Amino acid sequence: MDKILEVKDLHVNFATYNGTVQAIRGVSFDLNAGETLAIVGESGSGKSITVRSILQLLAKNADIAKGSILYHGDDLLQKSEKGMDNIRGNKISMIFQDPMTSLDPTMPIGKQVAEPLLIHNNVSKKDAMARAEEVLRLVGIPNPKARMKDYPHQFSGGQRQRIVIAIAIVDYPEILIADEPTTALDVTVQAEIIDLLKELQQKIGTSIIFITHDLGVVAGIADRVAVMYAGKFVEYGSVNDIFYNPQHPYTWGLLDSMPTLDTSEANRLNSIPGTPPNLLNPPKGDAFAPRNKYAMEIDEEEQPPYFKVSKNHYAATWLLHPNAPKVDPPASIKKRFEKFKQLGGSVK
C-alpha cells in the first residue's frame, strides 16, 4: 500500500497567559491510500490539534515546535501560506464538527459547494455549479438543482452536514479529515452520515482520518485506530487489535466504559476515575499513571516507549515490558481477548 501521509514526531505548543501548553507531545503516524484511520480520545487529548496541524489551521498562538508532516514526501510544514492554500480543499480537505455553524449563513449553498472548484481548478462558473449539483446529489440532498439557491438555515442539521461533506469532497481530495463529523447530530442521523462517508470513500477512493470520542462509531468505519491521551498516541493498531486485543490500561478503560447490552441499572456504567493531566506541566513519567490502577513505580519516573504487540500494533505501557508483572485486566476486556482468539489472533 502507498503511504500518502507521514506525520513524524509532531510537537505542538500553545502560548497562553499561564505559560506554554504542550498540547501535542510527539505524535507519529502514517496514512495509506484508501484507508480510514480513526483517532480516538477524550476531549482535550489533542485529536483535533493533530489533524489541524496537517492543514495548518491552528489558532494564532499555536506553534508547531518540532516534527514533519510529509505529504507524498513533501514536508507541508515547510510550505508557504500560498503553497498550503493549494493543498487545502484540493488535496486535503476537512469536515468540521458542527454543521449548524460551519456554513456561511449569507451565501447560497450551491455557491459554497462550488467554491473549492473555482479556487483550485480553472473551470467556468457554470461548470463548477454543474459539478456542485452533481456532488449534492451524491451526498443525498434531494432535488439539488432547486435547492442550490437556498441558504443554510433552510436545511436541517443532517442535511447541513451532508452539504459540508459535499464541500469537502467536491474536488476529490486524496485525504479527507473528518473532525468529529457526527458529534453534533442525533444518533439516527449519525449512522446515516457514517454510511455516507463509507459509500463516498468507495466511490472516490479517498483516505479518511476520522476523529471521534465515540468508540462505537470507530468500529463501523475504521481500518486502523489510534488511541490518544494527553497529546500522545498510547496505542495504535488495526481495528481488531484495538477492540479485541487492547494492551494499554487507558484503552481498557475506554472500552470498559462503553455501554453494552448487559449494562443495567444494577451494574452501572464504568468510568475512568480522575482527570487528564494539565499539559502546562506535563508529568515526567506516563501521563496516564495517576488514573491507572495498574501503574507501577517506573510509570511515575519514565515515559514508556512503544512496545510492539504484533505487526502494526503498538502500545506505550510499561506493562508490556518483559520484566513487568502479569496483571489482571477488567472482566469485559478478558471477554474481548476470548473474541480475539476466535478471530484467530494470539493474545499475549
Partner 1 sequence: MAKYILKRIFYLFLTLFIIATLTFFLMKMLPGTPFSNQNRMSPDQLKIVKAQYGLDQSVFVQYVRYMGGLLQGNLGTSFQFNNEPVTALIGQRLAPSMQIGAQAMILGTVLGILLGAVAAIRKNTWVDTLATFISILGLSIPSFVLAVLLQFYLAYKWHIYPVALWDNFQSSVLPTLALAALPLGNVARFMRTEMVDVMSSDYIELAKAKGNSSWKVVTKHALRNSLIPVVTIIGPMAVSVMTGSMVVENIFSIPGIGEQFVKSITTNDYPTIMGLTIFYSFLLVVIILIVDILYGFIDPRIRLGNGGKE
Considering the complex, state which of residue 119 and residue 298 has its C-beta at the smaller distance from partner 1: 119
- List the Cα angle 22/24/87 in 5-degree steps: 130
> Dmax of the chain from CA atoms?
67
Smallest separation (angstroms) from partner 1 to the CB of 153: 5
Find, among 77, 107, 75, 71, the residue nearest to 90 by Cα: 71
Smallest separation (angstroms) from partner 1 to the CB of 116: 5
Smallest separation (angstroms) from partner 1 to the CB of 57: 6
Smallest separation (angstroms) from partner 1 to the CB of 340: 38
What phi and psi, each to the nearest 5 degrees, are found at residue 139? -85, 0
CA distance linking residue 285 with residue 300, whole number of Å: 5
Considering the complex, state which of residue 115 and residue 133 has its C-beta at the smaller distance from partner 1: 115
- List the Cα angle 110/197/158 in 5-degree steps: 55
Smallest separation (angstroms) from partner 1 to the CB of 86: 7
CA distance linking residue 184 with residue 167, whole number of Å: 18
Smallest separation (angstroms) from partner 1 to the CB of 52: 9
Considering the complex, state which of residue 125 and residue 153 has its C-beta at the smaller distance from partner 1: 153
In Å, how far are 96, 147, 196, 201, 306 from 173, measured between CA atoms?
15, 24, 16, 10, 32
Find, among 268, 278, 331, 320, the residue nearest to 298 by Cα: 320
Considering the complex, state which of residue 151 and residue 337 has its C-beta at the smaller distance from partner 1: 151
Find, among 190, 283, 298, 269, the residue nearest to 229 by Cα: 283
Smallest separation (angstroms) from partner 1 to the CB of 104: 5
Considering the complex, state which of residue 96 and residue 307 has its C-beta at the smaller distance from partner 1: 96
SS3 assignment, position 229: strand
Q: C-alpha grid cell for residue 117?
A: 472548484
CA distance linking residue 23 with residue 314, whole number of Å: 22
Considering the complex, state which of residue 99 and residue 285 has its C-beta at the smaller distance from partner 1: 99
Chain contacts with partner 1 (rule: CB under 8 A):
55, 57, 81-82, 85-90, 93-94, 96-98, 101-108, 115-116, 119-120, 151, 153-154, 164, 167
Considering the complex, state which of residue 61 and residue 263 has its C-beta at the smaller distance from partner 1: 61
Considering the complex, state which of residue 83 and residue 274 has its C-beta at the smaller distance from partner 1: 83
CA distance linking residue 131 with residue 111, whole number of Å: 11
Q: Where are the alpha helices (DSSP H) in the chain?
A: 47-55, 81-87, 99-102, 109-120, 125-138, 144-147, 157-169, 187-204, 215-221, 239-244, 249-256, 297-301, 331-342
Smallest separation (angstroms) from partner 1 to the CB of 87: 7
Smallest separation (angstroms) from partner 1 to the CB of 196: 18
Considering the complex, state which of residue 14 and residue 314 has its C-beta at the smaller distance from partner 1: 14
